[in-house]
Amino acid sequence: MAPTFTNSNGCPIPEPFATQRVGQHGPLLLQDFNLIDSLAHFDRERIPERVVHAKGSGAYGEFEVTDDITDICGAKFLDTIGKKTRIFTRFSTVGGELGSADTARDPRGFATKFYTEEGNLDLVYNNTPVFFLRDPSKFPHFIHTQKRNPETHLKDANMFWDYLTTNQEATHQVMILFSDRGTPASYREMNGYSGHTYKWSNKQGKWHYVQVHFIAEQGIKTLNNEEAGQLAGSNPDYAQEDLFKNIAGGNYPSWTCYIQTMTQEQAKQAPFSVFDLTKVWPHKDYPMRRFGKFTLNENPKNYFAEVEQAAFAPSHTVPYMEPSADPVLQSRLFSYADTHRHRLGPNYTQIPVNCPVAGTVFNPHMRDGVMNVNGNLGNHPNYLDTSKPVEFKTFSLQEEQEVWEGSACPFHWKYDEKDFIQPKELWKTLARYPNQQAHLAHNLAVHVAGADVPIQDRVFEMFAKVHPDLSNLIKKEVLEISPRK
Binding site for ligand HEM (CB under 6 A): 50-53, 56, 90, 92, 109-111, 124-126, 131, 136, 139, 195, 310-312, 328, 331-332, 335-336, 339-340, 343
In this structure, what are the phi and psi dihedrals at residue 38, rounded to the nearest 5 degrees? -65, -45
- The dihedral region occupied by 393, where left means phi > 0, alpha psi between -120 and 50, and beta the remainder, is beta
Please calculate the CA angle 208-214-220 and round it to the nearest 5 degrees: 145
Report whether 279 contacts 130 (CB < 8 A).
yes
Q: How far is the CB of 126 from ligand HEM (least distance, A)?
A: 4
Nearer to ligand HEM, 131 or 187 (CB): 131
Nearer to ligand HEM, 115 or 131 (CB): 131
With CB atoms as reference, the residue minimizing the distance to ligand HEM is 109
Q: How far is the CB of 89 from ligand HEM (least distance, A)?
A: 9
Report whether 170 contacts 99 (CB < 8 A).
no
Nearer to ligand HEM, 264 or 339 (CB): 339
Q: State yes or no: is 53 an active-site residue.
A: yes
Nearer to ligand HEM, 115 or 463 (CB): 115
In this structure, what are the phi and psi dihedrals at residue 36, rounded to the nearest 5 degrees? -65, -40
Report whether 119 contacts 92 (CB < 8 A).
no
Q: How far is CA 349 from CA 142, 353, 411, 472, in A?
A: 30, 8, 35, 52
Q: From the candidates 120, 126, 167, 246, which is the catalytic residue?
A: 126
The DSSP output letter for 293 is E
- The dihedral region occupied by 320, where left means phi > 0, alpha psi between -120 and 50, and beta the remainder, is left
Q: How far is the CB of 347 from ligand HEM (least distance, A)?
A: 15
Letter string b/e over residues 27-61, b meaning 16 or more CB atoms within 10 A of that residue's CB = eeeeeeebbeeeeeeeeeeeeeebebbbbbbbbbb
Report whether 104 contacts 232 (CB < 8 A).
yes
Q: From the candidates 7, 25, 34, 53, which is the catalytic residue?
A: 53
Q: Which amino acid is at 368?
A: D
Nearer to ligand HEM, 331 or 472 (CB): 331
Nearer to ligand HEM, 136 or 229 (CB): 136
Q: How many residues does the chain have?
A: 485
Q: Which residues make Cβ contacts (< 8 Å) with residue 168, sequence separation at least 6?
A: 415, 419, 462, 465
Nearer to ligand HEM, 242 or 326 (CB): 326
Q: How far is the CB of 402 from ligand HEM (least distance, A)?
A: 21
Q: How far is CA 29 from CA 20, 25, 40, in A?
A: 6, 12, 15
Q: How far is the CB of 109 from ligand HEM (least distance, A)?
A: 3
Nearer to ligand HEM, 63 or 110 (CB): 110
Report whether 314 contacts 122 (CB < 8 A).
yes
Q: How far is the CB of 275 from ligand HEM (least distance, A)?
A: 12
Q: State yes or no: is 126 an active-site residue.
A: yes
What's the gap between Cα 183 and its chain centre?
16
Report the alpha-carbon distance of residue 294 to residue 296 in Å, rounded.
7
Nearer to ligand HEM, 157 or 333 (CB): 333
Report the alpha-carbon distance of residue 84 to residue 270 in Å, rounded.
35
Q: How far is the CB of 294 from ligand HEM (least distance, A)?
A: 16
Q: How far is the CB of 115 from ligand HEM (least distance, A)?
A: 16
Q: How far is the CB of 361 from ligand HEM (least distance, A)?
A: 20
Q: How far is CA 419 from CA 168, 292, 323, 465, in A?
A: 8, 33, 24, 10
Residues classed as catalytic: 53, 126
